A and B are shown apart, each in its own frame.
Chain A
């Protein structure tokens, strides 16, 4: 009896020790992962002299908004923000519309060539834009559209984003019972009506997954705008940031302010619905 009590007590303390160690490791990991973001954020509020200081200033003193003032008053970062938002919204809207239509047809409508056409689009998921960027550039510049937002919207929409979207929506619509569609048909509803009234509302979870995936892809896209855009009025945030960081006599505190400015919107949305974000993005990893 006594021995048993001893061991149970020991076990308990050992368990607590383990728990403590686990938290310690977790906190260390979180600190390492979040510290760069902390450094980014605080540097953007420092004065130029304090940024150059040694030893490094761990906490801004004094806090200054001068960097943000310069960003908004002297640099077109509000313009870049607007460009980023509207490109991402249009691209995402197109992906949702076209891939839910196609996904539904591939899943639930019988027509000749259904499988082979789906397979062709499926192959598109692995086609990185890096491989097709040269012809995309020459085609757009042939149409005098290279230095515009058309390419930024259309290329991913009908490239890997659209292909992934079609795949994702088809996967979802396959799980919808066919009886539901049959019932709609018997009631005399046409296919478009069935699609809009019955199926789209049901697919809201998959659609939000796709919204997150596409928006983030577009928001963070770098290679495409870098290659296509030359008029600085049309730049998106990542391109504006990279331009700023390559300037002669660039100021780190200003660059960090620009980087914070282009990260905060997406991070805010991420922290609000992180569960859905992680789910969406890991799905895109499993697409292959």
Chain B
């Protein structure tokens, strides 16, 4: 009796020491990532908030604490207002077109058939291409004088507009370029979701005489709703962060007519050296992205709950 308790206590002791040793390894293993993460991500976020309340300027080399002055200035900043409106325009143009086209492409390419791999790869190719290559390429295609589009238009007797130098066209053209680049990504997400919808649903409904179109609206769409929501949020966040294609295509122009959030941050901080003011814009962008992400997380929880 005595011996068995002794053995037991010895065992737990050994177990505890193993666990203790384990937790030491645990901290050691996460240490590099955690430390790096604190230095390269957490600290910069805090610093962005702090900078946003200063007038930090790399030209005049000042850094005074000015509380919320930057934010108040943003209210009356006409360029900022335009930037917000243009970012919103960009998002509102991109979201529906992207959703409809990617759903159509996913429906077209979800089933295995001869050559479907090739077609999927074709749609996905621009996703892999860098945003600068893609932007520069389309800048060439959209050139007013010897661009391909205007040359083709000229062949059928139409004088094409100055796509990239037109105040009304700069944003739609950038949206188009972004749209084509991103189709493959969302298509793959939707194909994954569509393949998870149980086959029986379709079989049962086709016995009841449902058409393909009805099946799409009454079976596919409701069943992939969580993925649709996810794609909507991701695309919105993506269009809030858009920068490379704007820089390559229009440089924010003509004037400021294609300024978007990140372009204005870039311009303010790294061309005009107003770091404090640019940080205030960054904070606003940050809050927008956090809000969207939280929305996505809570909605996903709700969906998971329903599924249970």
Chain A positions within 8 Å of B, measured between CB atoms, are 22-23, 25-26, 29-30, 32-34, 36-37, 39-40, 43, 51-52, 54-56, 97-99, 101-102, 104-106, 109-112, 114, 117, 120-121, 124, 126-128, 130-139, 154-155, 157-159, 162-163, 166, 185, 190-192, 195, 216, 219-220, 222-223, 226-227, 237-239, 241-242, 245, 252, 255-256, 259, 262-263, 266-267, 270-271, 274-275, 277-278, 281-282, 285-286, 288
Contact = CB atoms under 8 A, between A and B. Distances in A.
Interface in B23-66: 23, 25-27, 29-30, 32-34, 36-37, 39-45, 47-48, 51
A242 B297 contact: no
A192 B115 CA distance: 46
B244 A223 contact: yes
Contacts of B109: 26
B92 interface: no
10 contacts: A97-B32, A98-B36, A109-B26, A128-B237, A131-B282, A131-B283, A132-B47, A133-B265, A134-B51, A159-B37
A256 to B, nearest CB: 7
Most buried by A among B34, B108, B230: B34
Given A39-B141, A192-B25, A102 B122 contact: no
B18 A274 contact: no
A104 B30 CA distance: 9
Contact of A102 (B34, B105, B183): B34
Contacts of A109: 22-23, 25-26, 29
B93 interface: no
Nearest to A32: B180
A84 B134 CA distance: 17
A274 B184 CA distance: 12
**Interface secondary structure of A, over-half rule:** helix
Contact of A285 (B119, B189, B275, B279): B189
Contacts of A162: 33, 36-37
Contacts of A104: 29
B304 interface: no
Contacts of A56: 146, 148, 151-152
Given A133-B269, A162-B36, A222-B132, 14 more contacts: A29-B105, A55-B155, A104-B29, A105-B30, A106-B30, A130-B243, A130-B261, A134-B265, A134-B282, A216-B128, A238-B133, A242-B136, A252-B140, A288-B234
A271 B34 CA distance: 35
B289 A128 contact: yes
Contact of B29 (A101, A110, A127, A134): A101
B95 interface: no
B132 A223 contact: no
Nearest to B34: A117
Contacts of A270: 125, 128
Q: In which size bucket is the chain B interface?
A: 35 or more
Interface string B111-144: 0010111111111111111111110111111010
Interface string B82-124: 0000000000000000000000010011000101111111111
A29 B19 contact: no
B33 A29 contact: no
B234 A110 contact: no
Contacts, number: 279
Interface of B: 18-19, 21-23, 25-27, 29-30, 32-34, 36-37, 39-45, 47-48, 51, 105, 108-109, 113, 115-134, 136-141, 143, 146, 148, 151-152, 154-155, 180, 183-186, 188-189, 192, 230-231, 233-234, 237, 241, 243-244, 247-248, 261-262, 265-266, 269-270, 275, 278-279, 282-283, 285-286, 289-290, 293, 296-297, 300
A154 B36 contact: yes
A138 B290 CA distance: 24
Contacts of A163: 37, 41
Nearest to A118: B30
B130 A222 contact: yes
A214 to B, nearest CB: 14
A277 B124 contact: yes
A110 B26 contact: yes
A223 B266 contact: yes
Contact of A36 (B34, B137, B247): B137
Nearest to A253: B140
Nearest to B20: A111
Contacts of A275: 117
A55 B151 contact: yes
Given A33-B180, A105-B30, A134-B48, A127 B41 contact: yes
B32 A101 contact: yes
A110 B266 CA distance: 43
B114 to A, nearest CB: 9
Nearest to B233: A288
A158 to B, nearest CB: 3
B20 to A, nearest CB: 10
B282 to A, nearest CB: 5
A190 B119 CA distance: 49
